[in-house]
Chain A
Amino acid sequence: DAKTTQPPSMDCAEGRAANLPCNHSTISGNEYVYWYRQIHSQGPQYIIHGLKNNETNEMASLIITEDRKSSTLILPHATLRDTAVYYCIVRPGNTGNQFYFGTGTSLTVIP
């Protein structure tokens, strides 16, 4: 079952940073936070994941609070192509366990 809470929708101006929040107050010590996005009903695309340290890659940054009960995905310079549904998922990391999706946040990047 999904263990995360996300706002249903957000807007962001093109070129600005998009900050997408996620609450996961019941996260366990061995669970990672994963972020995926789905563009226009394509297959979900991996963005980033982390355990407790902040992470950054070529797509985004992930900020996890010290108590690990919430996190924020940051798209530093949003483009129109970043318009998508963003899913925050918590699960034990690097194992083949089931992957459950919540309702996600529909991000619209506005020109």
Chain B
Amino acid sequence: GNSVTQMEGPVTLSEEAFLTINCTYTATGYPSLFWYVQYPGEGLQLLLKATKADDKGSNKGFEATYRKETTSFHLEKGSVQVSDSAVYFCALSGGTSYGKLTFGQGTILTVHP
């Protein structure tokens, strides 16, 4: 079946540092890939998505590129802010996960001033 693996966390950075959170997946067919973010006390929110190979999703300075050859969808941001502190989830939909999201385990990001 489908699965998503995220880098081990938590991640702690200083403000304005470069962020990478690794995500790899296993899926049949051509899934869509997502990054969701969960701020403290809030529900999950879609951060960005990509629906086919080589697509780049971007939002709020975050980017991720759908790499079919490496089955990866790594999240990057050039300069993080304290307000980016949250839990980030990589997810996929499609293939054997049709109609539902399959999530990774989440990565806690803490940004210090």
A and B co-occur in one complex: no
Q: Which residues of B contact A (CB under 8 A)?
A: none
Q: Which residues of A contact B (CB under 8 A)?
A: none
